[in-house]
Copies of this chain bind each other. A is one copy, B any other.
Amino acid sequence: MAVIVPFESHSTPSIDRLVSLVADDMAGVNTTILARTGSEVTMIPEVANHLISSGGKRLRPMLTLAMAQLAGYVGDGHIKLAAAVEFMHTATLLHDDVVDESELRRGKLSARMLWGNEASVLVGDFLLGQAFRMMVEVGSLRALDILSSAAATIAEGEVMQLAAAKNTATTEDEYLAVIRGKTAELFAAACEVGPVIAERPKAEQTACRAVGMNLGIAFQLVDDVLDYGGTAAKLGKNVGDDFREGKITLPVVLAFRRGNDVERDFWIRTLERGEVADADLDHAIGLMAKHRALEDTMQRAEHYGAKAVDALALFPSSPMKSALEQVVAFCLARSN
């Protein structure tokens, strides 16, 4: 029996269709972002725009716009909510750089290297304040509830990561709790507010939230894999960052559990004690290959990706629905 493979399955998954479907709304978001980073205090737009215009994909605000469209929302509240989501994300990045003492962000010098820790902390706080102002203007208490709860949960996830940092005994479930908080919660909230302001039934709100939550987890797991060169062992520009910072991610959790005593000593020396020699990254990648840690992390990511797609199944076929399915595939395909 012949299997008919549709042409599209051969093409590389991309976010282009989503980008074009939300292009008009996104122009509004960009205008809003520019207007709301404005301040007579010149350092604020300088620092904020350094990061905002540094070429992030703006996946999170696009998801808010996409879900509002999927839910048939009529109005312009989704524009402000999407801008608020991007501000929350930017504030998190500014504060993360201080927490991680990062020197680079998206290949450029981080804001804290250019303007100091002070500016990163305070401009982050300013953006958070502006994000809440925009949400208040939209006037949906339920959307405010979702996004303010997300803000608390994100910080909670980051503190959890801090507590788990350099601890090779971290379990897979503990790690999952960390990334649900620090990454997936904002994806979930960004998606959930769309049907909420469209006043769609609870089932649709829950479905959109599940799309975001599962996509967010998958996204973070793929990031973790990419940080060790991906399953194809490609050497991207950030390979080894997590390793050098002693971050415990799922590939490490799996390799550590599956390793023998000598291998565990290696992980404890490098990640817990921070004693890293030149050849250690290669050795770490070798251990991950031996235990299929990257492949199996990708398998977990695909599991969450599949859940995200299944959550979309509630909605009838539409160009937006299929564009969102492509986004899930795109996020997973980044590792190849």
A interface residues (Cβ-Cβ under 8 A, vs B):
39, 41-44, 91, 95, 98-99, 117-119, 121-123, 125-126, 128-130, 132-133, 135-137, 139, 141, 144-145, 148-156, 158-160, 162-163
Closest to A98 in B: B121
Q: Which residue of B lies closest to A39 (CB)?
A: B156
Most B CB atoms within 10 A — which of A39, A128, A129, A130?
A129
Q: Are B133 and A149 in contact (CB under 8 A)?
A: yes
User: Which 6 interchain pairs have the tightest Cβ spacing?
Assistant: A129-B152, A129-B151, A132-B148, A126-B155, A125-B155, A99-B118
Q: Which of A135, A136, A150 has the most CB of B within 10 A?
A: A136
A-B contact pairs, 12 of them (CB 8 A): A41-B159, A44-B156, A95-B122, A95-B125, A99-B118, A125-B154, A126-B155, A128-B155, A129-B150, A129-B153, A132-B132, A132-B148
Given contacts A128-B128, A133-B148, A144-B136, whether A159 and B99 have CB atoms under 8 Å apart is no
CB distance from A102 to the nearest CB of B (A): 12
Residues of B within 8 A of A133 (CB): 145, 148-149, 152
- Report the bound CA distance from A127 to B160 in whole Å: 15
Which secondary structure dominates chain A's binding surface?
helix
Q: What residues on B are CB-neighbors of A130 within 8 Å?
A: 152
When distances are taken between beta carbons in the complex, the residues of chain B under 8 Å from A117 are: 98-99, 117
Nearest B residue to A181 via CB reads B41
User: Cα distance A148–B133 when bound, in Å?
Assistant: 5
Taking a contact as CB atoms under 8 Å apart, the answer to whether A162 and B119 are in contact is yes
The answer for the CA separation of A144 and B129 in the assembled complex, in Å, is 11
The distance in angstroms between the C-alpha atoms of A162 and B118, with both chains bound, is 8
Q: List, in ascending order, chain B residues with CB within 8 A of A119's CB.
A: 159, 162
Q: Contacts A95-B121, A129-B153 known; A136 to B159 CB distance under 8 Å? A: no
Given contacts A99-B118, A119-B162, A126-B156, 10 further A-B pairs with CB under 8 A are A41-B156, A44-B159, A95-B122, A98-B117, A99-B121, A119-B159, A122-B159, A122-B162, A132-B132, A141-B141
In this complex, what residue of B is CB-closest to A142?
A: B136
A44 contacts across to B, CB distance below 8 A: 156, 159
CB-based nearest B residue for A149: B133
| Complexed CA–CA distance, A129 and B128 (Å) | 9
Name which of A135, A145, A149, A152 has the most chain B CB atoms within 10 A of its CB. Answer: A152
CA distance A165 to B137 in the complex (A): 34
The closest CB in chain B to the CB of A143 belongs to B136
Across the interface, which residues of B come within 8 angstroms of A129, CB to CB?
148-155
Bound complex: CA A133 to CA B156 (Å): 14
- Once the chains are docked, how many angstroms separate the CA of A137 from the CA of B91? 24
Q: Indicate if the CB atoms of A128 and B145 lie closer than 8 Å.
A: no
Given A121-B99, A151-B132, decide whether A126 and B43 contact each other with a Cβ distance below 8 A. Answer: no
- What CA separation (Å) do A163 and B43 show in the bound complex? 8
Q: Which residue of B lies closest to A91 (CB)?
A: B125
**CB–CB A43/B162 < 8 A:** yes
Cβ contact within 8 Å between B151 and A43: no
Please name all residues of chain B whose beta carbon is closer than 8 Å to the beta carbon of A132 when the two chains form the complex. Answer: 132, 144, 148, 151-152
The chain B residue sitting closest to A153, CB to CB, is: B129
Which of A122, A133, A162 counts the most B-chain CB atoms under 10 A from its CB?
A122
